[in-house]
């Protein structure tokens, strides 16, 4: 057994592990060992379907020290007019370059791909069987979020006889012509499958969509690194929620304002998982009108699909596309900093790489675990509509904590993974006002803070009323 020594043992070279390690390298002189089961960095991106793209702009994805993409605006396609979205191949190549051209040349990182971590500093090569024992000051678990794509697991339902069912990874390789298609699942993966079929000129009449739960969707135009986008988000999502009388009224007001979208205006969604679409993509999805709302699939046979609340017909000429399950499951929040263990989690809703980078800065800057955990309250990945309320409140409270810390506030103003930093960099006037603390800027900030405070109080009241029922 080979013995190794390091300051930080990072388990996983996915997006979160890489983002955390990147900030440690920038802010400290620590040595790092990174262990991962994949043959190259990128985590679940190595297993994702080939036509997947980032669901949010490349401008604030990846590691803090290296730009992803060229910050260009798409001129064609369903993302036209918005910041570019990196492809699967671009993301994998990017993380490989970060490792090969930054981490390893630093002399402070040792990387062990294709290795299985067994805990307690022990890991072994999946290829050679070589065993290693690491003495470390701290262990960083970047796998807690447990991202899982359909190609990595068997279908969560039974497939009988000769029925055809594939994970959406296999869609680009389909050479057989099918009579129709059945999409199974209601999340972003299913949305990508639907858009792939429509892009390839499959007639909407040939598509059936089994949707166990309808989902609230985010408008991608409101998740851009621009002042206009931040203004839209505030106007369409924060302000409408300040005076809602109950939960239904809350979602109704935000939906009417455009802060949340849905595929069918006549169905109230009960799911929220941060899925993003453009208005153009939403119009495409609405072309599919054969939506089945009978719960989850239990069994697929040659001529029938059995669901929780009934069944529908099928045939051997049908291709069933598995987009079911929780790709990013809602896991309970746990203390992030605990003695020699750091468990990476989101501290801003659905902003995993930003969160990991922020955790890296907090680890490098503050000494006591108590202080670190006060600043970094986990925000679990959402699943239900009520989680939208909970996470909106949690995000706001975390932002308030960060604003009280000068060192952290300064880092946030310059971090490329923080969308707001792009607004400051792109506007010399805002940057100057922020630096000089001019009165007009402070008045604007105070109005925003007062509105946010009002929204928080209203959300607290709504959540309390739900608990009392």
- Letter string b/e over residues 104-122, b meaning 16 or more CB atoms within 10 A of that residue's CB: eeeebbebbbebebeeebe
Confidence of residue 436 (pLDDT cuts 50, 70, 90): very low
Mean pLDDT (the chain, rounded) = 92
Asked if 8 contacts 140 with a C-beta cutoff of 8 angstroms, the reply is yes
The per-residue pLDDT for 426 is 62
The per-residue pLDDT for 240 is 83
CA angle (345 as vertex; 342, 351 as ends), nearest 5: 140
The residue among 126, 143, 51, 139 whose CA lies nearest residue 91 is 51
The per-residue pLDDT for 257 is 93
The residues with which 345 forms a beta bridge, in sequence order, are none
Q: Averaged over 327-348, what is the pLDDT?
A: 90
* pLDDT tens digits, one per residue of 24-58: 999 999 999 999 999 999 999 999 999 999 999 99
Pairwise pLDDT comparison (193 vs 468), residue with the higher score: 193
Domains of the chain and any CATH numbers: 2-147+331-375 (3.50.50.60), 150-214+262-322 (3.50.50.60), 385-468 (no CATH)
The per-residue pLDDT for 445 is 56
Asked if 360 contacts 24 with a C-beta cutoff of 8 angstroms, the reply is yes
Asked if 222 contacts 278 with a C-beta cutoff of 8 angstroms, the reply is no
The per-residue pLDDT for 435 is 45
Q: In what order do the strands lie in the sheet with 318-322?
A: 164-167, 318-322, 180-184, 207-210, 291-292
Whole-prediction pTM: 0.93
Pairwise pLDDT comparison (333 vs 93), residue with the higher score: 93
Confidence of residue 360 (pLDDT cuts 50, 70, 90): very high
Asked if 63 contacts 73 with a C-beta cutoff of 8 angstroms, the reply is no
Confidence of residue 447 (pLDDT cuts 50, 70, 90): low
* pLDDT tens digits, one per residue of 112-126: 999 999 999 999 999
CA atoms within 13 A on the CB side of 142: 30
Task: Give yes or no for residue 434 having a pLDDT over 50.
Answer: no
Confidence of residue 150 (pLDDT cuts 50, 70, 90): confident
The per-residue pLDDT for 439 is 33
In the block, tokens 């969308």 appear at 419
């Amino acid at each position: 057994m080979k013995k190794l020594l390091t300051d930080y043992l990072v388990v996983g070279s996915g997006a979160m592990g890489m983002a955390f390690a990147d900030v440690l390298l920038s802010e400290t002189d620590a040595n790092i060992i990174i262990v991962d089961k994949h043959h190259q960095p990128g985590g679940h991106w190595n297993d994702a379907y080939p036509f997947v793209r980032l669901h949010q702009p490349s401008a604030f994805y990846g590691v803090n020290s290296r730009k992803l993409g060229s910050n260009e605006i798409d001129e064609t396609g369903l993302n036209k007019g918005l910041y570019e979205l990196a492809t699967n191949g671009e993301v994998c190549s990017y993380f490989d370059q970060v490792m090969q051209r930054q981490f390893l040349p630093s002399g402070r990182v040792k990387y062990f791909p294709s290795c299985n971590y067994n805990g307690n500093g022990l890991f072994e090569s999946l290829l050679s069987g070589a065993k290693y024992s690491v003495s470390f000051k701290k262990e960083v678990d970047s796998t807690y979020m447990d991202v899982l794509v359909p190609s990595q697991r068997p279908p969560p339902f039974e497939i009988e006889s000769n029925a055809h069912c594939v994970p959406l990874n296999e869609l680009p390789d389909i050479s057989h012509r099918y009579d129709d298609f059945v999409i199974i699942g209601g999340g972003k993966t299913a949305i990508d499958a639907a858009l792939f079929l429509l892009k390839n000129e499959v007639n909407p009449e040939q598509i059936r969509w089994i949707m166990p739960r309808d989902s609230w969707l985010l408008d991608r135009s409101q998740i851009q690194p621009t002042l206009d986008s931040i203004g839209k988000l505030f106007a369409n999502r924060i302000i409408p929620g300040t005076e809602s009388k109950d939960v239904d009224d809350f979602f109704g007001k935000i939906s009417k304002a455009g802060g949340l979208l849905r595929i069918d205006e006549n169905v109230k969604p009960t799911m929220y998982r941060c899925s993003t679409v453009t208005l153009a993509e939403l119009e495409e999805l609405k072309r599919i009108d054969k939506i089945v709302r009978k719960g989850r699939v239990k069994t697929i046979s040659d001529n029938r699909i059995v669901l929780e609340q009934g069944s529908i017909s099928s045939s051997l000429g049908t291709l069933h596309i598995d987009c079911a399950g929780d790709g990013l499951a809602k896991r309970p929040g746990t203390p992030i900093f605990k003695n020699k263990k750091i468990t990476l989690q989101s501290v801003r809703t659905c902003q995993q790489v930003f969160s990991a980078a922020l955790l890296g800065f907090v680890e490098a800057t503050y000494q006591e675990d108590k202080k670190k955990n006060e600043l970094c309250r986990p925000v679990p990945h959402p699943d239900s509509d009520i989680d939208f309320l909970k996470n909106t409140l949690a995000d706001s409270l975390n932002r308030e904590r960060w604003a009280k810390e000068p060192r952290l506030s300064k880092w946030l103003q310059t971090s490329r993974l923080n969308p707001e930093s792009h607004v400051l960099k792109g506007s010399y006037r805002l940057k100057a006002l922020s630096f000089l603390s001019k009165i007009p800027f402070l008045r604007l900030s105070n109005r925003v803070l007062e509105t946010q405070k009002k929204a928080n109080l209203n959300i607290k009241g709504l959540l309390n009323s739900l608990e009392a029922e």
